[in-house]
Amino acid sequence: MEARTAQAALGYAQVIKFAKGELSESEAKEETKRATRQYARRQETWFSRDERITWIKGGSRQQMLEEIISSTISLR
């Protein structure tokens, strides 16, 4: 079944194309990766406008935890 909402899900269209023989497995994987990266960029752009969000920089787990604790304390 090709439900309209499901078709918007990342990877769904690629799996359907693969099942129909329109894409190879590797092509379906690559298209899914590309679509996922594009979606992540759109989310980042959208969320970057929200001043309520505090972005945590990458790094070690310890560094990220320290940054979270620090940002939480500064909100009080």
pLDDT tens-digit map of 31-76: 999 999 999 999 999 999 998 887 888 889 999 999 888 877 766 5
Q: Which range marks the domain in which residue 45 is found?
A: 4-75
Count up the domains in the chain and report the number: 1
pLDDT at 76: 56
Residue 15: burial class (beta carbons within 10 Å; 0-12, 13-18, 19+): middle
pLDDT tens-digit map of 20-30: 999 999 999 99
Maximum pairwise Cα distance, the chain? 56
Single pTM value for the model: 0.64
Spatial separation of the C-alpha atoms in residues 33 and 14, rounded to whole Å: 10
Q: What is the enclosing helix (H) or strand (E) of 68?
A: helix 61-75
Residue type present at position 74? S
The CATH number of whichever domain residue 40 belongs to comes to 1.10.287
